[in-house]
A and B are shown apart, each in its own frame.
Chain A
Amino acid sequence: MRAWTNTGSGFKTLLSVSNSALSSGKTGIEAAGNIARLTKFKAGALLTPVANNSESLAALTLRDAFLTPQSPLSGGGAWGALAWDNSPDGHNTGQVYTTGWGPANPAPTVNGAYWQKAAFADTGAGTAVSAIPMVPPGATRSFSLWLDMPSPGSLKSGYEARFVDNGSGQFYETTISKWQAGVKTAVGAASILAAPTTRFAFVDKGSSLTIWLAQEASYFQVASVTDSAFNSGYAGIEASGNVVRLRDFRAGPLAPF
């Protein structure tokens, strides 16, 4: 724990103490006496500022590369099953094949998982989730990226970016949906073209929900909608059809710029 002060020449340490009792919770302000005024409240993960959107998305923390075969996906307890994963044979969370993560069960069964080690909050710079479809889902099959799920182990709530393959493996009918206790509201749709092994990223920043694609380090935005029902929660993946293979799952708060 360290307290800092900045009187105009950068932050300097004011107090320092070792204590690790707490690592999660809510932030706030308090005052006795109504003379003091507080402005520009800032809270969130301590991330090194970057230059632009691409650098911010590139810096997103890599949580699981999906390199080590595992059935079902667990990651040492890092992953939990989505409540609406309807695997009939216990393969909730899907599985990691030698080629990446994918559902264990064929369509129309849905397999999906969320990274349960931490929830992420948009406190100004945004949160994001991204992955690379190494193998496309196949015609009419899909994969989804999820953000801001409050309780994904019990309730279908949060934002979903669903990518439905038209069969070419490059054109995706994309829908951004808001789910509230199992009730779906589509908030936007777009048709996007993505070359093989393109990274897909789904971002919540303020009231904007955006989709970004990248081949290397340079991201470009392909869809944008507005909604502000959720601003924190868990990130995850979902797919229908056991052909798709995802690699390189990244999720977390975005670095500011």
Chain B
Amino acid sequence: MNRISRLTALIGMVACALCAFAAPASAIPPEATTGSATEIKDTKATLSGTINPQGKPTNYRFEYGPTTSYGFNAPVQPGNAGEGTTSVSVSKPLTGLTPATTYHYRIIALGEGGTVPGLDKTFTTAATDPAAALGGMATTEPFDGSSTSLANFSARWASLGWATAKGEDTATGWRASAEYPSVSGAYLNQTLTDAGQGLGVSTTMAATPAGEGRYISLWLDMSNPSAASRAGYELRLAAEAGGNYKASLVLWAGGSCNHARYSELGCAGSR
């Protein structure tokens, strides 16, 4: 053990001696310490850290990404940590993050004495609150019979392939074109893709589908809604005897109902 210790000490001394020749005292590398991630939301967070420039002009940046390969920088142009001899605190807000995702991050010091990374740390973005997102969604189509609404309904909406009519945009809202049991339906001619945040669709039921067997439905993820067979996710609210409503979530494929879940709902005028 003693021999090993002496040998280690000797190597250490030699290494230090070489260092003294190779790197002048003025080129002491900066110090970088990765700090915490704070103010973590679904698409943003703030990273912090400390940099000791060791007396030489030093810049910094944060690297972050889904793995320790990182892939993203903040700021895009490195920030200035000065040229002092004590540690300075720096922070940078990140935006455009993906919800419910774990990110690796570290601070990097870029000084005359070298590029020095801090330790890797992680944080996880919050999941988007769907209730808040649904509540804040912009109106796609007002369905109020206004000239704008009528023009949009004419240009951007088409009849569902299994419906007998597209329905009508009136001053009191969209409605089916004919009496029960005729089915009316329309789809918005825009493909929506879930690119990480999830998709939603909502409408305000200004008048309920009164009468047993009557229903209204919202559709999502229809690949070919002009076809004669239903395909996609349907949320159906069907009137029952006694003024209650039955809600069902259904996956349709090729006109067949593959999966269903039902619940009783007794609220009129709901969205």
Contact partner of A5 (CB less than 8 A), chosen from B137, B200, B215, B265, is: B265
Contact, CB under 8 Å: B203 / A29: yes
B76 touches A247 (CB 8 A): yes
Among B173-194, those with CB < 8 Å from A are 173-194
Complex Cα distance A18/B66, Å?
Answer: 25
Asked if B138 and A42 make an inter-chain contact with CB atoms under 8 angstroms apart, the answer reads yes
- Let me know if A25 and B209 touch, CB within 8 A: no
- Given A7-B267, A30-B216, A38:B205 Cβ within 8 A: yes
Q: Taking the nearest CB of chain B, how far is it from the CB of A177, in angstroms?
A: 22
Partner of A22, one of B186, B206, B233: B233
Bound Cα distance from A32 to B237, whole angstroms:
11
Asked whether, in the complex, the Cβ of B139 is within 8 Å of the Cβ of A46, the reply is no
Query: Residue of B at shortest CB range from A68?
Result: B71
Bound Cα distance from A36 to B215, whole angstroms: 8
Contact A32 B96 (CB under 8 A): no
B114 at the interface (CB under 8 A from A): no
**In-complex Cβ contact of B138 among A10, A14, A29, A124 (8 A):** A124
Stretch at the interface among A54-62, A153-161, A168-176: A54-62
Given contacts A41-B143, A48-B136, contact A25 B191 (CB under 8 A): yes
| Residue in A31, A47, A68, A255 whose beta carbon sits within 8 Å of that of B176 in the complex | A31
Tell me the nearest residue of chain B to A10, going by C-beta.
B131
**Which residues between 153 and 173 of chain B lie within 8 Å of chain A, taking CB atoms?**
156, 160, 163, 167, 170, 172-173
The one of A25, A37, A247 in contact with B172, judged by C-beta atoms closer than 8 angstroms, is A37
Q: Does B11 contact A (CB under 8 A)?
A: no
**A12 neighbours in B (Cβ, 8 Å):** 131
Chain B binder among A86-94, A112-120, A137-145, A186-194? A112-120
Instruction: Tell me how far the C-beta of A116 lies from the nearest C-beta in chain B, rounded to whole angstroms.
Output: 11
A163–B134 alpha-carbon span in the complex (Å): 36
Give CA–CA (A183, B121) in the complex, Å.
Answer: 51
CA distance A12 to B129 in the complex (A): 12
Is A132 located at the chain interface by the 8 A CB criterion? Answer: yes
Q: Does A24 contact B (CB under 8 A)?
A: yes
Give Cα A253 to B208, complex, Å.
Answer: 32
Q: How far is the CB of A69 from chain B (nearest CB, A)?
A: 12
Binds A, one of B27-35, B36-44, B80-88, B104-112: B36-44
Q: Please report the C-alpha to C-alpha distance between residue A15 and residue B262 in the assembled complex, in whole angstroms.
A: 8
B183 in contact with A46 (CB, 8 Å): no
Bound complex: CA A12 to CA B247 (Å): 14
User: CB distance A232 to B191 under 8 Å?
Assistant: yes
Contact (Cβ within 8 A) A26 B222:
yes
Contact among B130, B211, B261 for A17, CB-based, below 8 A:
B261
B195 touches A44 (CB 8 A): no
Q: For residue B187, which residues in chain A have a CB less than 8 angstroms away from its CB?
A: 26-29
In the complex, the answer to whether B225 meets A26 with C-beta atoms within 8 Å is: yes
| Contact call B214/A121, Cβ cutoff below 8 A | no
Q: Residue B130 contacts which of A11, A123, A125 (CB distance < 8 angstroms)?
A: A11
Given contacts A4-B131, A217-B93, A256-B137, contact A39 B263 (CB under 8 A): no
Q: A24-B191, A38-B205, A45-B197 are in contact. Are A67 and B136 (CB under 8 A)?
A: no
- The one of B163, B178, B210, B247 in contact with A30, judged by C-beta atoms closer than 8 angstroms, is B163
19 contacts between A and B (CB under 8 A): A6-B134, A23-B199, A26-B189, A28-B185, A28-B187, A29-B218, A29-B219, A30-B215, A32-B181, A33-B214, A34-B178, A34-B184, A40-B271, A41-B201, A45-B200, A61-B96, A118-B195, A232-B191, A255-B43
Residues of chain B whose beta carbon lies under 8 Å from any beta carbon of chain A: 41-44, 70-73, 76-77, 93, 95-98, 128-144, 156, 160, 163, 167, 170, 172-211, 213-223, 225, 232-235, 239, 247-249, 251, 253, 258-259, 261-263, 265, 267, 269-271
